[in-house]
Amino acid sequence: MAKIRYSIVAPCYNEEGNIRELHRRIGEVMDQTGETWELVLINDGSRDRTPELMRELHELDPRVHYLDFARNFGHQIAVTAGMDYAQGEAIILIDSDLQDPPELILEMIEKWKEGYKVVYAIRSERKGETWFKLFTAKLFYRLIYRITDVDIPLDTGDFRLMDRQVVDTMKRMRERHRFIRGMTSWVGFKQTGVYYVRQERFAGETSYPLRKMLKFASDAITGFSYFPLQLATYMGFIVAALSGVGMVGVILARLIGQQAFFGQATTLVMVLFLGGIQLICLGIIGEYLGRIYDEVKDRPLYVVNQAVGFEKIPEIPEFAGRAEPKVGHLS
Ligand code: UDP
Ligand code: MG
């Protein structure tokens, strides 16, 4: 088979209403390049007809390759698997609900040909999302920007093009709690952005409720920053300074003859206050500890039920030195 130039990677979780249209739009756009491409779909444990539709698409158009996960592993892991299996020289990540317009890929490819290794898409506007989602997303991007150690561009999602060199580097980063956009920034290389208007979903509804968004945010923060751990130190200094001031106050009050200064209630409030701070700090340490535990267990990032259409087994630590797990046969 001819060498594949572009791999479009789209994770799918309950996207039966979208993937046919996705394939049509991607085809329209990619055929304009006049170069070879593959569409890599990942079924992330969908409960609807998504996997059947994937097989249908593959039979109809052999450029559609797909992975079927043994269960739902989450968006970031699905994208990771897609990057592991993708064979192209440039890899494009895109959501399968058509919120990211495929037409933008052409602009990304142009930048790539100019020599940029990462071209990320910046959302200049978002359509059809609640004010709550817009507000929390804005807050999230700014918070991440402030407290993490890598420069993660504001208002960018995972919609991006990455050069083979970048993807091969990221394949060596096997952390479990993944924040792909942080990881792409960490890798470095020449990067640039293109602007686009984020569209409404073509069909179906979001599978990112508040609970998942919070987990995503905490993965992003713990993955790229020690700031929460340092909070304990800061709070310790602040409380110590306050108690120093308090001590002086109490001594002065005694000196000017006030006897029954401060009562039981004050003590109680102080004890509870400090107890609260200590529990929060313990919780923060717990968050990091849990993640360390997950890393130490060293389980594979995902389990593939079936990989269809790919030429070879990916070169990643999961598969190194051992045969492809039985569940992950190529067909
Ligand atoms: N997705 C996935 N696994 C999940 C949740 C979502 O693969 O557990 C996919 C989903 O099919 C879509 C993309 O990730 O292609 C973004 O999800 P969604 O549209 O629900 O999130 P939003 O765009 O609202 O942030
Ligand atoms: Mg979406």
In this structure, what CATH number is given to the domain that contains residue 66? Answer: 3.90.550.10
Write out the two tokens for 99: 């919120």
Residue among 86, 46, 48, 81 nearest 65 (CA) = 86
Residue nearest to atom 3 of ligand 1 (CA): 75
From the CA of 162, how far away is ligand 2's center (Å)? 20
From the CA of 95, how far away is ligand 2's center (Å)? 6
Q: Is residue 214 part of a domain?
A: yes
Instruction: Please state the atom number of ligand 1 nearest to the C-alpha of residue 99.
Output: 23
| Domain span at 127 | 6-225+300-308
Residue nearest to atom 2 of ligand 1 (CA): 75
Please report which helix (H) or strand (E) contains residue 10, including its range. Answer: strand 6-12
Say whether 149 sits in a helix, a strand or coil: coil
Within this chain, do residues 240 and 216 fall inside the same structural domain, yes or no?
no
User: What pLDDT shows up at residue 151?
Assistant: 81
Within this chain, do residues 42 and 90 fall inside the same structural domain, yes or no?
yes
pTM: 0.84
Rounded Cα–Cα distance for residues 35 and 263 (Å): 80
Residue nearest to atom 13 of ligand 1 (CA): 95
Q: Is residue 210 part of a domain?
A: yes
Reported as half-sphere exposure (CB side, CA atoms, 13 A), residue 151 has a value of 4
Rounded Cα–Cα distance for residues 108 and 257 (Å): 76
Within this chain, do residues 50 and 180 fall inside the same structural domain, yes or no?
yes
Q: Is 307 left (phi over 0), alpha (psi -120 to 50) or beta?
A: beta
Q: Which residues line ligand 1 (CB under 6 A)?
A: 11-13, 15, 44, 72, 74-75, 78, 95-97, 99, 206-208
From the CA of 106, how far away is ligand 2's center (Å)? 21
Q: Is 204 left (phi over 0), alpha (psi -120 to 50) or beta?
A: left
Within this chain, do residues 56 and 115 fall inside the same structural domain, yes or no?
yes
pLDDT band (50, 70, 90) for residue 132 = confident
Rounded Cα–Cα distance for residues 80 and 78 (Å): 5
Q: Is residue 313 part of a domain?
A: no
Q: Is the confidence at residue 32, as pLDDT, over 90?
A: yes
**Is the separation of the CB atoms in 72 and 44 below 8 Å?**
yes
Within this chain, do residues 97 and 218 fall inside the same structural domain, yes or no?
yes
Give the number of the ligand closest to the Cα of residue 209.
1
User: What pLDDT shows up at residue 57?
Assistant: 95
Within this chain, do residues 83 and 177 fall inside the same structural domain, yes or no?
yes
User: What pLDDT shows up at residue 76?
Assistant: 94
Residue nearest to atom 23 of ligand 1 (CA): 206
What one-character-per-residue DSSP string does 305-330 give? Answer: EEEES-SS---SGGGTTSPPPGGG-B
From the CA of 196, how far away is ligand 2's center (Å)? 15
User: What pLDDT shows up at residue 326?
Assistant: 44
Total domains present in the chain = 2
Residue nearest to atom 8 of ligand 1 (CA): 74
Within this chain, do residues 216 and 72 fall inside the same structural domain, yes or no?
yes
Within this chain, do residues 25 and 174 fall inside the same structural domain, yes or no?
yes
Within this chain, do residues 232 and 221 fall inside the same structural domain, yes or no?
no
Give the number of the ligand closest to the Cα of residue 13.
1
Within this chain, do residues 188 and 262 fall inside the same structural domain, yes or no?
no
**Is the separation of the CB atoms in 250 and 261 below 8 Å?**
yes
Within this chain, do residues 100 and 247 fall inside the same structural domain, yes or no?
no
Residue 242: exposed, middle, or buried by beta-carbon count in 10 A (0-12, 13-18, 19+)?
A: exposed
- Which residue blocks in the chain are alpha helix, DSSP H? 19-31, 50-60, 75-85, 104-114, 131-147, 164-171, 180-187, 210-224, 227-255, 264-297
- Average pLDDT over the chain, rounded to an integer: 87
Over residues 244-256, the pLDDT tens digits come to: 898 888 888 888 8
pLDDT band (50, 70, 90) for residue 226 = confident
Give the number of the ligand closest to the Cα of residue 133.
1
Q: Is residue 40 part of a domain?
A: yes
User: What pLDDT shows up at residue 231?
Assistant: 87
Q: Measured in whole angstroms, how far is the alpha carbon of residue 326 from the centre of its chain?
A: 28
Select the more confidently predicted residue: 10 or 236.
10
Rounded Cα–Cα distance for residues 190 and 178 (Å): 22
Give the number of the ligand closest to the Cα of residue 213.
1
User: What pLDDT shows up at residue 246?
Assistant: 84
Rounded Cα–Cα distance for residues 211 and 188 (Å): 31
From the CA of 208, how far away is ligand 2's center (Å)? 8
Q: Is residue 268 part of a domain?
A: yes
Reported as half-sphere exposure (CB side, CA atoms, 13 A), residue 281 has a value of 14
Q: Is residue 93 part of a domain?
A: yes
Q: Is residue 235 part of a domain?
A: yes
Write out the two tokens for 327: 């569940």
Within this chain, do residues 119 and 262 fall inside the same structural domain, yes or no?
no
Q: Is residue 173 part of a domain?
A: yes
From the CA of 133, how far away is ligand 1's center (Å)? 14
Over residues 115-125, the pLDDT tens digits come to: 999 999 998 87
